[in-house]
Amino acid sequence: MSESFSEADRTDGIEPDMIDENNAPASVASEAAAVAPMNMIQALNSALHVKMAEDPDVLSFGEDAGYFGGVFRVTDQLQQKHGLTRSFDTPISECGLVAAAIGMGAYGLRPVVEIQFADYIYPAYDQIVSEAAKMRYRSGGQFTSPIVVRSPYGGGIFGGQTHSQSPEALFTHIAGLKVVIPSNPYDAKGLLTAAIEDDDPVIFFEPKRLYNGPFDGWHQKPVSPWKTQDLAQVPTGKYVEPIGKARIMREGNDVTILCYGTMVWVSLAGAEHAGVDAEVIDLRSLVPLDIETIEASVKKTGRCVIVHEAPKTSGYGGELSALVQERCFYHLEAPVTRVCGWDTPYPHAFEWEYFPGPERVATALKAVMTGGSR
């Protein structure tokens, strides 16, 4: 499975030279205060190295996540540096590996597990939803589940239906879970560090189209690497980005765009394409949600467009839309609008018809600016 993805990835404009091999990973940095350019893989890897060096109760495991370091290399060198019993390969059993993590968490460890693709998370769904999420509540606080379930997620990589999905809404619906989706290397490291230190289970989705560069949806254009971005300047030592705080990626006055993951970069491109002065908010964490930042922005702009890759129906955009109208209705000058994946399985041959790109975002922005819905 991973091989077929890698092939697709290679044919999609991501070249090996986009991973900046010259930049030292965090684990070999001598100074905590040092900053290095990192792509998202390196930043996530750095978070794991730093936390594992700091806390012997942090373990990392998953399918191909041990010796080999994961099919996307996020767990690279963890085993070599921290030992076989701290970073290891698991049987191909998402249910089993998440359940093992839950048991370890109940013992007092802080396991970080990798689900190779978010599309493979469903065999673990019962363990996540019925067990990890409910542990603290159902035991009256006697047992907790301080685990992190990491998973590469989202489309734009010609992965077809089993390597492209965005299942975040299946987890935001579950009381007891936190859902975090970073959009850049700096946040990826700081939020993963926070997730590992969190005493509750965190679903940590990593937009894999962003691993090697801030993909903005203009798929015909050459992809720019992370090193051109400020948010790729990542401290090599430890830092924490709090879970539950949004990041305003672009300030603007005309319309608020609520987005996360790859759609942050697509939304920025869409706003530019439309020539609209949009305020682009990267939610970063869906649960808990930074409602204050959302509310303040929509009350300022009077318009709101929500962008996500996941299918529209019962997507997280529906929740955001409801919250915005509940809290900002009298400030709204246009209907809240969603730009989402279609309500179809993720198609292989129609990647760019399915993937919400900057043109669709721009169309939505223009529509709300003229007072109408799309």
Partner 1 sequence: MTRNTKPLSLRVPEPSGRPGDAPDFSHLKLDAAGSVDRPPVDARPVQMLDLAFRLIRVLDDEGNAIGPWNPRLDAETLKKGLKAMILTRAFDDRMHRAHRQGKTSFYMKCTGEEAIAVAQGMILSREDMGFPTYRQQGLLIARGYPLVDMMNQIYSNASDPIKGRQLPIMYSARDYGFFTISGNLGTQVPQAVGWAMASAYKGDDKIAITWIGDGATAEGDFHNALTFASVYRAPVILNIVNNQWAISSFQGIAGGLETTFASKAIGYGLPALRVDGNDFLAVWAATQWAEERARSNQGATVIELFTYRGAPHSTSDDPSRYRPGDEHEKWPLGDPIARLKQHLIALGEWSDEAQAEAEAEAVAQVRAAGKESEAIGTLGQSRPSVKTMFEEVYATEDWRLVEQRREVGV
Among all residues, which ones are annotated catalytic? 163
Establish if 102 lies at the interface with partner 1 (CB under 8 A).
yes
Residue placing its CB nearer to partner 1 in the complex, 142 or 220: 142
Q: How far is the CB of 289 from partner 1 (least distance, A)?
A: 8
Q: Are 116 and 2 in contact (CB under 8 A)?
A: yes
Among 137, 251, 314, 371, binds partner 1 (CB under 8 A): 137
Residue placing its CB nearer to partner 1 in the complex, 136 or 308: 136
Burial of 91 (0-12, 13-18, 19+ CB in 10 A): exposed
Binding span for partner 1 by CB under 8 A among 15-23, 134-142, 206-214, 268-276: 134-142
Judged by CB under 8 A, the number of residues near partner 1 is 46
Residue placing its CB nearer to partner 1 in the complex, 126 or 343: 126
Q: How far is the CB of 298 from partner 1 (least distance, A)?
A: 16
Establish if 16 lies at the interface with partner 1 (CB under 8 A).
no
Q: Which are the contacts of 262, defined by CB distance < 8 A and separation ≥ 6?
A: 154, 155, 156, 183, 207, 209, 210, 215, 217, 309
Among 13, 103, 237, 345, binds partner 1 (CB under 8 A): 103
Establish if 66 lies at the interface with partner 1 (CB under 8 A).
no
- 233 to 252: interface string for partner 1, x by CB under 8 A: -----------x--------
Binding span for partner 1 by CB under 8 A among 41-49, 87-95, 257-265, 267-275: 87-95
CA distances from 305 to 56, 67, 297, 336, 363 (A): 44, 43, 12, 6, 11
Establish if 90 lies at the interface with partner 1 (CB under 8 A).
yes
Establish if 176 lies at the interface with partner 1 (CB under 8 A).
yes
Residue placing its CB nearer to partner 1 in the complex, 202 or 310: 202
Among 144, 224, 229, 325, binds partner 1 (CB under 8 A): 144
Binding span for partner 1 by CB under 8 A among 44-52, 128-136, 204-212, 358-366: 128-136
What residues from 269 to 288 belong to the interface with partner 1 (CB under 8 A)? Answer: 287-288
Angle between helices 262-274 and 358-369 (to 10 degrees): 50
Q: How far is the CB of 53 from partner 1 (least distance, A)?
A: 17
Establish if 170 lies at the interface with partner 1 (CB under 8 A).
no
Write the DSSP string, 220-271: TSPPPPGGGSGGGEEESS---PPTT--EEEE--SSEEEEE-THHHHHHHHHH
Which residues of the chain form beta strands (DSSP E)?
A: 35-37, 58-62, 87-89, 110-114, 148-153, 178-180, 202-207, 233-235, 247-250, 255-259, 278-282, 285-287, 304-311, 337-341
> What whole-number distance in Å separates Cα of residue 215 and Cα of residue 1?
23
Q: Of 141, 161, 169, 163, nearest to 151 (Cα)?
A: 163
What residues from 106 to 125 belong to the interface with partner 1 (CB under 8 A)? Answer: 106-109, 123
How far is C-alpha 144 from the geometric centre of its chain's CA atoms?
24
**Helix boundaries (H) for 119-259:** 125-126, 135-138, 169-172, 185-197
Where on the chain is the footprint of partner 1 (CB under 8 A)? 59, 85-86, 90-91, 93, 95-97, 99-109, 123, 126-127, 130-131, 135-144, 175-176, 178, 198-200, 244, 287-289, 291
